[in-house]
Each structure stands twice: as C-alpha cells, then as structure tokens.
Amino acid sequence: MSRRLTPGRLLAWTVLVVFLAVTILPFYWMVRTAITPAADLYTDSTGLVPQHPTMINFWRVLGFVDDETARAAGGSGAKINFWRYTVNSLIYSGLIAVVQTFCCAMAGYAFARLRFPGRDLLFGVMIAALMVPPIFTLLPNFALVKNLGLINTFAGMVAPSLLMTPFAVFFLRQFFLSVPREVEEAAVIDGAGRWGIFWRVIVPMSRGPLITIALTTSVWAWKDYLWPLLVGRGEENRVLTVALGVFLQQSPNTRPDWTGLMAGSTLSVLPVLLLLIFLGKRLVQSLNFTGIK
C-alpha cells in the first residue's frame, strides 16, 4: 500500500466516502425526523437540521406523557409504550443469547471431545437441519405452540430458539476441535471430571468464540420479526420489531405518523449502535469465520 495521494487513490477514496455517506444518511435522517415536531413535518422536511428540535416524539412513543399531550404532539391516540417493548426486546435477545450459547457450548464440547455411540450420525442430522428454511418448521411449530396454549406468552416466543440452533452447535464444535487435547489430558490426570474440565478449563479458554456466538445470537434475536409477530403480538410481550410494525399499521394510511415512527426506529437502532461502539472491533474481526465457515 503506497501512501502517495495519486489521482487514482483520490478517486478511490471518494467512492468509498460516497458509500459511507449512503450508509449513514438514512440513520441521520431518522434521527433528524425523530426530533422534528410532527406539526412541522410538511413545512420543514428538507433542511439538514430541524428548525424547532424537540424530544417530544421520544417521550410520547415511550409512553412518558399523557394521552392528551401525545395526541397534541401528533400521536394517533393509539396506545404505544415503546419503553415496555424495548425492555421486552432486551430481555428476549439477552435471554436467548445467554441460554442458547451455554447449551450449545455443552453440546459442541460433547460432539468435539466425548466418545459415545451414534455421535457422528447425530451431528450429521443436526447439520442437515441447517438446510431446512425456517418457514418450513415455523408452520408446525406455530401449531404446536398454539396447541400448548402458549400463543401470546413469553415462553412461546423464546421456546424454539432458547436451547439451540444447529449453527451455534456447529460453530462451537468446530472451535472446540481446535483446542489442544494436551490441555485436557493434564486436567484428567489431576483428577478432574468431564464437567470440571469443561467448566474450569474449556470455557475460560474459549471466552472469545463464546462471546462471538452470544453476540451474533443476540443480534439475530434483536432483529427477529416473523416468529414474535405470530406468537407475541399482544401488548404485554410485544418486542420492538413487532411494535414498529403494529405502530405503522395503526397510523393512518394517507398520513403515517413519521416523527413517531422514526423515534421508535431510533430506539431499535440505539442498542445496536452501542454494541458496535463498545464491541465493534470483536464483531468486525469475527466476521471472517462466522460468516463463511
């Protein structure tokens, strides 16, 4: 990489900066709209900065102001409580990430290191399940959850992804295969049982991949839409993605409540942005193997 600024390099940088601008612009416009008073939307929708910036749209979608004030600020009068939905989303993705990573680490370790009859067959069947598109299992899963009476419950929402995904098992098994056996042999001679080895030797050694898979899982759960839409539509358990969809449905077709919608959207971006700021480096560097191998 030469550091001289030739016309070619200048052009290349310009193209890269344009891509970056296109990436960021919609997010900027989201925040810009979220802090614009709803009444100004028709008169003040072109400038880069709103003329009368306000936080009222956030307060009203979070349910912090009374109905009267919310309607005056552009709300449709429908009850919206994004504070609750944000908390639901955080619990939903946090719980799934932690429990799933833990269970899949145990199974990944068993598949990588323990000897038992039928191991390779079982693992093969699990990998084959990666080929089945989610919509295919979603139909019977919905029927199952419905028959169990778990529609509109938190249990029904988390059930299918709480314990495992074939991908996480696969990913962690591949990693555990690369852990040198000598490390375990030493612990075995010290008299540690399988659980002791796993918990005191393998888990601390594998902090990196475990965090990677937990992060990836939490992002997937944060983005989840279809399953929570079917099973968690009710106000109590609604997550942010479902809430945004419902919010759009409720606002009038001809005149959607864009300032409120953008305030809600900002809430769905904020945790991801924080994740990127604090763990961006790990996330970016983990991409080359989670994505492909």
Which residue's entry shows tokens 């409720």?
250
**Residue span binding another protein (CB under 8 A) among the ranges 50-58, 79-87, 203-211, 285-293:** 285-293
Q: Are 176 and 202 in contact (CB under 8 A)?
A: yes
| DSSP 8-state symbol, 199 | I
Lay out the site mask for another protein across 12-31 (x = CB under 8 A, - = otherwise). Answer: xx-xx--xx-xxxxxx-xx-
Residues ≥6 apart with Cβ < 8 Å to 63: 79, 80, 81, 82, 83, 84
Out of 126, 157, 202, 263, the residue judged to bind another protein by CB under 8 A: 126
3-state secondary structure of 257: coil
Residue 109 contacts another protein per CB under 8 A: yes
Stretch that binds another protein, among 52-60, 63-71, 78-86, 225-233 (CB under 8 A): 225-233
In the complex, what is the shortest distance from the CB of residue 58 to another protein, in angstroms, rounded to a whole number?
A: 15
CB burial of 239-254 (b: ≥16 within 10 Å; e: otherwise) equals bbbbbbebbeeebeee
130 near another protein, judged by CB under 8 A = yes
Q: Which of residues 133-152 bind another protein (CB under 8 A)?
A: 133-144, 146
Between 207-223 and 82-113, two packed helices, what is the crossing angle to 10 degrees? 140
Q: Looking at beta carbons only, is 79 or 181 nearer to another protein?
A: 181
The token pair that represents 283 in the structure block: 């996330």
- Verify binding: residue 211, another protein, rule CB under 8 A: no
In terms of CB distance, is 162 or 205 closer to another protein? Answer: 162
Q: How far is the CB of 68 from another protein (least distance, A)?
A: 26
Q: Identify which of residues 68 and 143 has a Cβ nearer to another protein in the complex.
A: 143
CA atoms within 13 A on the CB side of 156: 24
From 40-48, 51-59, 64-72, 199-207, span contacting another protein (CB under 8 A): 40-48
User: Contact at 8 Å (CB) between 90 and 105?
Assistant: no
